């Protein structure tokens, strides 16, 4: 009888320790998520500050001449997206071809 009581006490202790371990892991995960969100917020603030600086340095009148100086532009094509782990989910992103206007008569 004493062995059964010791076994039950030991089993309850193991289950309790396991539950505490799982709780601690969950708390660690939540903490890491909070740290990442704080870092993302900092980076967003830095990005907004940089965008504001760019907006102050570049006037709208300057954009068109600079773009024209670069020459003709066309959309950038994208390679297909391939997921080697799930081939059924593979998608293909079609490259966008620049539109060619027919000659006017």
Ramachandran region of residue 6, left (φ > 0), alpha (ψ -120 to 50) or beta?
A: alpha
Q: Is 25 helix (H, G, I), strand (E, B) or coil?
A: helix
Report if residue 41 sits inside a domain.
Answer: yes
Residue range(s) defining the domain that contains residue 39 = 32-57
Please write the tens of the pLDDT for every residue from 80-105.
Answer: 566 666 666 655 555 555 566 666 66
Q: Is the pTM of this model over 0.75?
A: no
Q: Is residue 52 part of a domain?
A: yes
- Number of domains present in the structure of the chain: 1
In a domain, 11, yes or no: no
| 20 is a domain residue | no
Q: Is residue 39 part of a domain?
A: yes
51 domain-assigned: yes
pLDDT category of residue 5 using cuts at 50, 70 and 90: very high
Asked whether residue 79 is assigned to any structural domain, the reply reads no
Whether residue 6 lies inside any domain: the answer is no
DSSP secondary-structure letter at 91?
B
């Amino acid at each position: 009888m004493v062995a059964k009581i010791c076994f039950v006490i030991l089993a309850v202790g193991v289950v309790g320790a396991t539950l505490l371990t799982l709780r601690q892991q969950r708390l660690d995960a939540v903490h890491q998520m909070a740290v990442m969100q704080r870092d993302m917020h900092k980076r967003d603030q830095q990005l907004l500050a940089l965008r504001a600086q760019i907006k102050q340095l570049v006037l709208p009148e300057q954009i068109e001449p600079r773009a024209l100086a670069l020459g003709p532009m066309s959309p950038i094509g994208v390679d297909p997206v391939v997921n080697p782990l799930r081939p059924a989910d593979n998608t293909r992103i079609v490259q966008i071809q620049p539109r060619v206007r027919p000659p006017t008569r």
